[in-house]
Structure 1
Amino acid sequence: MGLHKILKIAAFALAIIGAIFALMIMTGDDETAQSMSGNMLYIAYVVLGIVVLLVLLFVLKGLFAGNIKKTLVTVGAFAAIIFLSFAISSGTDLDLTPFTDKGLDVDEGTSKTVGAGLYAFYILAVLAIGSMLYGGAKKIFNK
């Protein structure tokens, strides 16, 4: 039996257990619902940990099974885009007084991080759209 089938069966079993717990919470009284919901949070944390561990395991397995040079070049290009985004984001181009007056913890560092994330999104979106257009044009002209 392959690992895929085992994981599929385990996911199905966890879904059934979650549905049973959800029904127990909905049909029980307030005290039972509170204790069960706390237990469900612990179960959710454990399942999240298992999923993250499996994702990391399969990513590392795929990384070393494939072309590692191409993967490292791609990761380096992504890191360069993130670095460029932080470099062009200033964090001082926004009036922060409305946020600080409302009690929100927004400073120049937070503004710079948000701006860098937006710039990174814009750069990656332009690259994705450009690569789709390039691939489509190449396919049309090569026929």
Structure 2
Amino acid sequence: MLHKIFKIVAIVLSLAGVIFLARIIAAGDEAIETGEKAGLVDPIASVAYIILGLVLAFVVVFVVKNLFTNTAGLKNTLIGVGAFAAVLIISYVMAGGDELKYRLEDGFATDAQSQMVGAGLTAFYILIVVAALAMIFSGVKKVISK
């Protein structure tokens, strides 16, 4: 029953997307760029947002469902989430405010904003190194096992 409902919703959203796309194509690029038919883009954007929201909701529901039905997977997931949270915390602690004042559109960046950017960059660098080491370790392990 649920499969039929999903099929019907997918067909309705697909038809709406095709109809709105046909209207945009019929209006032409120049009409939309000049603003004459700017209202034609909003409906297809709404359909895209609806589809994105539905996909995200289904992904979250099925991931959570799978986590609770597979307890071994839940343990591994929690270890991964904990490690990622540890990387973020370490990155935030390591990042400090910057003495330089960075100009933004509406003023200057605050120390907190500067620290968050630094933490994001530090976390990115840590995760890059971890990923590279994991690939190297996997490759060496594969060569040794042959």
Q: Deviations over 1:51-99 (max 9, x none)?
A: 1101101211222233211211111111000100101011215x225x1
The 8 Å contact of residues 26 and 33 in structure 1, kept in 2 or not, is answered as no
Structure 1 141/118 Cα, relative in aligned 2: closer, same or farther at 3 Å? same
Q: TM-score, normalised by structure 2?
A: 0.76
The answer to whether structure 1 residue 56 and structure 2 residue 55 are counterparts is no
Identity %: 37
Offset of residue 121 of structure 1: 0.8
Structure 1 residue matching 2:109: 3-state secondary structure? coil
> How many Å separate the matches in 2 of 1:9 and 1:105?
51
The answer to whether structure 1 residue 96 and structure 2 residue 95 are counterparts is no
Amino acid at match of 1:50: L
Structure 2 residue matching 1:112: 3-state secondary structure? helix
Aligned length: 139
Q: TM-score, normalised by structure 1?
A: 0.77
Offset of residue 23 of structure 1: 2.2
> How many Å separate the matches in 1 of 2:130 and 2:22?
47
Q: Paired residue for 2:115?
A: 112
Q: Paired residue for 2:43?
A: 39
Match runs of 1:129-140 below 5 Å = 129-140=132-143
**Counterpart selection for 1:86 from 92, 99, 102:** 92
- Alpha-carbon RMSD: 3.0
> How many Å separate the matches in 2 of 1:26 and 1:86?
48
